[in-house]
Amino acid sequence: MHTLLCRSRIRLPKLFPTPGNRPLWSWAARAVCLLLVLSIAVTLPWRWLPPPTTSFILQDRLRHEKPVHHHWIPWEQISGVLPIAVVAAEDQKFPDHHGFDFQSLMKALREESDQPRGASTISQQLAKNLYLWPGRSLLRKALEAYFTILIELTWPKRRILEVYLNVVEFGPRVYGVEAASRLFFAKRPAQISLHEASLLAAVLPSPKRMSAAHPSEYVHKRASQIKAQVRALGGPGYLDWQ
């Protein structure tokens, strides 16, 4: 009888395999699920709460001893000309696309442009500013695409633009429209004129080199183009999804 029991135990299938016997794909699936949960955990809360900081701000703090200027301000305290100026300058299809402007991307690839902003949407720029680092590596672009999709799926458009206006760099160690408005124009964001909003939008491609407070001839020219584009789009009413 003892021999029969031993043999029966040997023949029983392993319903619960030990970790050493778990297939590699199973561990890979668990790792992917964990990364997915973590990425949602660091993205979804900012649909309602102000992000306490960003990857770009943290990198700036580590590189420099000088203070970083950044203060969150809600959408209702931002002049209506600021969002439309930034959209006109950076991403005119922002209300309609789902994170990517494939038409502009193909055009940039055909022209082999050196301007990194040419095909990058506001959603992509926000993903990069919040979570990533400067550069154009394939890994960074892949992560940027992933976080862009995640943000577009979980945040409404107005929230994406609100967070972007609060975290994007407008000058060396100056992040967000609150700090930029007060430092450059001695005004609250609610008091900014279309001309001043266009100056802020004009420096976004290279805020460490260009200045909204002391604009060069190029910045003045670019600001004039942005004002014309704002009017062509119909002004703040273009963002009627808000």
Q: Domain residues of the chain, as ranges?
A: 37-45+54-61+71-236
The amino acid at residue 95 is P
pLDDT at 175: 98
More confident residue, 80 or 2: 80
- 8 Å CB contact between 204 and 86: yes
pLDDT at 103: 79
Q: Is the pLDDT of residue 55 over 60?
A: yes
Q: Measured between alpha carbons, how far is 128 from 140 in angstroms, rounded to an integer?
A: 8
pLDDT at 35: 86
- How much is the CA Rg of the chain, to the nearest whole Å? 24
Q: Is the pLDDT of residue 40 over 80?
A: yes
More confident residue, 103 or 55: 55
Residues in the chain: 242
- Look up residue 153 and give its two tokens: 């799926």
pLDDT at 68: 95
Q: What rounded mean pLDDT belongs to the chain?
A: 87
Question: What does the pLDDT average to over 17-26?
Answer: 64
Q: Measured between alpha carbons, how far is 68 from 226 in angstroms, rounded to an integer?
A: 28
pLDDT at 113: 46
Reference 71, options 186, 196, 174; nearest CA is 174
Q: Which residue has the tokens 């021999």?
A: 3
pLDDT at 198: 98
The CATH code belonging to domain 37-45+54-61+71-236 is 1.10.3810.10
CA distance readout (Å), 136 to 19, 50, 108, 142, 199: 39, 27, 14, 10, 26
pLDDT at 109: 62
- Look up residue 79 and give its two tokens: 């002049």
Q: Measured between alpha carbons, how far is 104 from 116 in angstroms, rounded to an integer?
A: 12
Q: Measured between alpha carbons, how far is 15 from 26 in angstroms, rounded to an integer?
A: 15
Q: pLDDT tens digits, residue range 182-216?
A: 999 999 999 999 999 999 999 999 999 999 999 99
Helix (H, G, I), strand (E, B) or coil at 240: coil
Q: Measured between alpha carbons, how far is 68 from 58 in angstroms, rounded to an integer?
A: 9
pLDDT at 119: 72
pLDDT at 150: 97
pLDDT at 64: 83
Q: Is the pLDDT of residue 115 over 90?
A: no
Q: Percentage of the chain surpassing pLDDT 70?
A: 85
Between helices 217-233 and 81-90, what is the axis angle to 10°? 100
- The H-or-E segment that residue 124 falls in is helix 122-131
pLDDT at 21: 58
* Region of residue 164 (left: phi > 0; alpha: psi -120 to 50; beta: else): alpha
pLDDT at 136: 82
β pairing state of 169-171 and 69-70: unpaired
The answer for residues whose C-beta is within 8 angstroms of residue 68's C-beta and 6 or more apart is 57, 60, 61, 173, 175
Between helices 194-202 and 81-90, what is the axis angle to 10°? 40
pLDDT at 116: 45
